[in-house]
């Protein structure tokens, strides 16, 4: 069967590439995903899947400890689950991908159209090409391969196309799992360069607000410049980032990302007129942390760092900076590497690729983390080779997508037909 799968994919890979192109050409910036979801619904129907649309319920999801509030309304936005029902009682599998992408700005930094999906020297360029529309289509094509070859898959296979992963996944992957669409195993096809990711760092977003005192620029000595005040906090946070990068280590993240933790100063806004002393400034940041560190400890660390930065400033004594926590908030995720799902996948992937597949961790987050909240459900990430995710000229290596499809088609068979162990239940 392995040779039949490879031959089918090779003979049809032009159609695979064209499908990725079509999806990349659809603008699905987070919050505006539904044109892309309509495309995926047609693709699910094309191979005869039973299709479910999952509308996220804010009130219900907000009760879950893993919920992330994206602050983007859920109205009019749905997730898609396509199910191929197995012919027996084999183990079930989810192949997961997110339809949303981050904005391409500044577009002037691209050398190609971010929505053009051009293929140049074997790479497909465009926003979301790697992160992660190629993975989303690889999932579909792997299942399509087995259906077209009339292979009798024994277990159910679910394809998930979800919204707002880039904003935390609360209304996307979590909504699908909470709606009951759960399986024995779960793969998120993020671009992980043929590595098997079993862990990622904890992530939290926070903002710091500083007030100043406005004044005319010609009388600036009567004002208090919020930008200047904010830079004391900026310097302190940059120093903290450097210290943590040197001293906080987790081996899997060092292997997978090259650095275990990051404190990124992502957004700075201040002032509203060039001739006015700015009366306010706001800084938004993302901090990562490793297993063994908790959200409570990280909050305390940031609060203490900001407090030390302003302790000798008389203005801040009367007008202390405010810290707010928002958006992404997740504990670190760690999947037991000895689980049969992980070990079975490593064997199948190694056999298909003809080399050992490494286990790594990531300093960035992904939707597979939600599996840790559901007993009997194992999760990993595995995906193609991509470059410049979230940056200009994002691209995916197309032949690597071919190999991912090959691995998944074979693993659908191997996993569904593997022996069921105690504590494992089909979804």
Q: Give the tens place of pLDDT for each residue, 356-389.
A: 999 999 888 899 999 999 998 999 999 999 999 9
User: Which ranges of the chain have pLDDT less than 70?
Assistant: 419-427
The overall average pLDDT reported for the chain is 96
Asked whether the CA dihedral 166, 171, 174, 175 is positive or negative, the reply is negative
Q: Cβ distance 169 to 97 under 8 Å?
A: no
pLDDT of residue 424: 52
Query: pTM of the entire structure?
Result: 0.88
The string of DSSP letters for 259-286 reads SS--EEEEEEEE-S-TTB---EEEEEEE
pLDDT of residue 421: 52
Q: Is the peptide bond preceding residue 132 cis, with omega within 30 degrees of 0?
A: yes
Across 3-78, the runs of DSSP E, i.e. the strands, are 50-54
Q: List Cα–Cα distances, 22 to 88, 98, 118, 131, in angstroms.
A: 35, 16, 11, 15
Q: Residues with Cβ < 8 Å from 383, sequence gap 6 or more?
A: 132, 134, 135, 138, 188, 189, 190, 191, 192, 193, 404
pLDDT of residue 327: 86
Q: Please report the domains of the chain, with CATH numbers, ordered by start residue.
A: 2-200+332-416 (3.40.630.10), 202-330 (3.30.70.360)
Residue 48: count of CB within 10 angstroms of its CB = 12
Q: Cβ distance 79 to 161 under 8 Å?
A: yes
- Coil vs helix vs strand at 184: coil
Q: Give the tens place of pLDDT for each residue, 200-235.
A: 999 999 999 999 999 999 999 999 999 999 999 999
pLDDT of residue 365: 85
């Amino acid at each position: 069967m392995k040779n039949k799968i490879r031959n089918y994919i090779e003979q049809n890979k032009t159609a695979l590439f064209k499908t990725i192109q079509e999806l990349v050409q659809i603008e699905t910036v987070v919050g505006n995903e539904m044109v892309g979801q309509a495309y995926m619904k047609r693709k699910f129907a094309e191979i005869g899947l039973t299709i479910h649309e999952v509308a996220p319920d804010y009130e219900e999801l907000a009760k879950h400890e893993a919920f992330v509030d994206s602050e983007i309304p859920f109205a009019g936005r749905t997730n898609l689950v396509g199910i191929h029902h197995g012919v027996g009682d084999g183990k079930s599998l989810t192949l997961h991908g997110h339809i949303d992408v981050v904005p391409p700005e500044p577009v002037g930094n691209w050398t190609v159209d971010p929505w053009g999906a051009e293929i140049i020297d074997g790479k497909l360029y465009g926003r979301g090409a790697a992160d992660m529309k190629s993975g989303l289509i690889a999932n579909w094509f792997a299942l399509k391969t087995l259906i077209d070859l009339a292979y009798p898959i024994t277990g159910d296979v679910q394809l998930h196309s979800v919204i707002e992963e880039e904003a935390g996944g609360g209304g996307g992957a979590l909504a699908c799992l909470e709606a009951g669409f759960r399986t024995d195993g779960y793969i998120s096809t993020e671009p992980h360069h043929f590595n098997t990711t079993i862990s990622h760092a904890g992530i939290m977003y926070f903002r710091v607000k500083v007030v100043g005192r406005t004044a005319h620029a010609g009388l600036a000595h009567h004002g208090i410049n919020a930008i200047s005040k904010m830079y004391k906090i900026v310097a302190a946070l940059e120093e903290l980032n450097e210290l943590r990068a040197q001293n906080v280590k987790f081996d899997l993240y060092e292997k997978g990302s090259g650095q275990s933790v990051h404190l990124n100063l992502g957004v700075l806004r201040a002032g509203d007129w060039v001739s006015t002393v700015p009366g306010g400034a706001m800084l938004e940041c993302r901090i990562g942390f490793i297993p063994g560190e908790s959200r409570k400890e990280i909050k305390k660390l940031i609060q203490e760092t900001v407090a030390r930065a302003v302790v000798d400033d008389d203005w801040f004594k009367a007008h202390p900076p405010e810290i707010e926590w928002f958006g992404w908030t997740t504990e670190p995720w760690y999947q037991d590497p000895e689980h049969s799902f992980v070990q079975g996948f490593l064997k199948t992937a190694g056999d298909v690729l003809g080399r050992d597949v490494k286990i790594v961790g990531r300093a960035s987050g992904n939707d597979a983390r939600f599996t840790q909240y559901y007993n009997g459900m194992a999760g990993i990430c595995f995906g193609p080779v991509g470059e410049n995710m979230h940056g200009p000229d994002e691209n995916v290596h197309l032949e690597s997508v071919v190999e991912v499809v090959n691995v998944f088609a074979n693993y659908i068979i191997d996993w569904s037909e593997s022996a069921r162990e105690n504590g494992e239940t089909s979804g």
